[in-house]
């Protein structure tokens, strides 16, 4: 084997080991090389996904305990003309690694603001909130707040109906800067939600520092409700914690009437999941006449 080829294969194995959370050691094999080629193909295609109109936002409804519509979460979708629908679990981490997430994040924010402007023209939808996930990479940008402010002014979207969902991984950075960013956004009228609470980095000490409006209970805890085990106890604790801090608490991944009823018994007031509707690019169908 030529020296250059050996170095290339060693480099592939090294990068694979770095991306793995299970092991620090990787040995090269042909599957690895195939995965690298597929990753490169996706990366190149992702760079052109916006201009080729391959991205879309699927809206999943959020409801209160009376199953009345209160808003939606905007979920990013990518439909490639040859590769088909590509899972966000595959392309979002790739976009964050390559930096494409910045351009994509700007696109998502712009489309979300345009959606809010459209909803504001109807009495049936002008009160609805729209939640969207913000990548830690995007949120940590020094110019992120000014960009949001500029877009709100340009589109005329009501910031009070816009909510940013932040993951706990964001708290692994400079907490003082993160709090400052959140405060600045809240001054614009944008509300803040902590997504997947209880599954990541955020400690109770951090939680008390964050200027939040909402806690989002991860679907893993909701699924555990059917087992009546430790998951149920933790869910109850998280709901009680959120309410004691005067935060709205929303549970995602609600799929059964049993889960819905139990969450209400535990004090949860807002819900999201297949029980109430699947993500759809046609959000208006949920509030049409």
Q: In the structure encoding, which two tokens stand for residue 136, read together? A: 């830690």
217, 268 in Cβ contact below 8 A?
yes
Residue keyed to tokens 């020094």 = 142
pLDDT attached to residue 189: 98
Q: Higher-confidence residue: 20 or 172?
A: 172
Tens of pLDDT, residues 219-261: 988 988 876 667 788 889 889 999 999 999 999 999 999 999 9
Residue 20 dihedral angles phi and psi, to the nearest 5°: -85, 140
pLDDT attached to residue 223: 86
User: Does residue 35 register a pLDDT over 50?
Assistant: yes
Helix 230-244 / helix 257-265 crossing angle, nearest 10 deg: 50
- Binned at pLDDT 50, 70 and 90, residue 8 comes out as very low
Q: Which of 131, 134, 137 is nearest to 58 (CA)?
A: 131
User: Does residue 81 register a pLDDT over 50?
Assistant: yes
270, 264 in Cβ contact below 8 A?
no
pLDDT attached to residue 5: 47
- Binned at pLDDT 50, 70 and 90, residue 146 comes out as very high
Q: What is the average pLDDT across 25-31?
A: 55
Give the range among 37-51, 104-118, 217-231 with minimum mean pLDDT.
217-231
pLDDT attached to residue 289: 59
Q: In the structure encoding, which two tokens stand for residue 170, read together? A: 């964001």
Tell me how far apart the alpha carbons of residues 91 and 49 are, in angstroms, rounded to a whole number: 11
Tens of pLDDT, residues 182-232: 999 999 999 999 997 766 555 677 778 899 999 999 898 898 887 666 778
Q: In the structure encoding, which two tokens stand for residue 173, read together? A: 């950075």
pLDDT attached to residue 224: 81
pLDDT attached to residue 209: 85
58-88+97-286 CATH choice from 3.20.20.450, 3.40.50.300, 3.60.20.10, 3.20.20.210: 3.20.20.450
Tell me how far apart the alpha carbons of residues 191 and 125 are, in angstroms, rounded to a whole number: 18
Q: Where in the chain are all domains bearing CATH 3.20.20.450? A: 58-88+97-286
Q: In the structure encoding, which two tokens stand for residue 193, read together? A: 């939600």
Q: What is the average pLDDT across 75-94?
A: 93
């Amino acid at each position: 084997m030529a020296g250059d080829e050996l170095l290339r294969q060693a480099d592939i194995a090294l990068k694979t080991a770095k991306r793995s959370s299970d092991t620090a050691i990787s040995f090269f094999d042909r599957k690895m090389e195939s995965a690298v080629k597929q990753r490169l193909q996706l990366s190149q295609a992702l760079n052109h996904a916006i201009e080729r109109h391959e991205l879309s936002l699927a809206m999943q409804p959020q409801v209160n305990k009376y199953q009345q519509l209160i808003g939606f979460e905007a979920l990013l979708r990518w439909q490639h003309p040859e590769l088909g629908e590509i899972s966000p679990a595959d392309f979002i981490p790739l976009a964050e690694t390559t930096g494409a997430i910045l351009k994509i994040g700007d696109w998502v924010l712009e489309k979300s603001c345009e959606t809010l402007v459209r909803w504001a023209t109807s009495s049936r939808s002008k009160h609805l909130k729209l939640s969207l996930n913000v990548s830690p990479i995007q949120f940590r940008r020094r110019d992120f707040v000014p960009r949001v402010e500029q877009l709100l002014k340009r589109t005329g979207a009501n910031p009070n109906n816009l909510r940013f969902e932040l993951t706990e991984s964001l708290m692994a950075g400079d907490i003082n800067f993160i709090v400052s960013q959140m405060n600045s956004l809240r001054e614009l009228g944008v509300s803040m939600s902590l997504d997947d609470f209880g599954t990541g980095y955020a400690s109770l000490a951090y939680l008390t520092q964050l200027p939040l409006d909402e806690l989002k209970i991860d679907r893993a805890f909701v699924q555990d409700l059917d087992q009546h085990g430790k998951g149920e106890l933790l869910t109850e604790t998280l709901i009680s914690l959120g309410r004691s801090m005067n935060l709205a608490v929303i549970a995602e991944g609600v799929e059964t009437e049993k889960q819905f009823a139990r969450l209400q018994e535990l004090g949860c007031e807002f819900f999201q999941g297949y029980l109430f509707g699947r993500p759809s690019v046609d959000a208006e169908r949920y509030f049409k006449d």
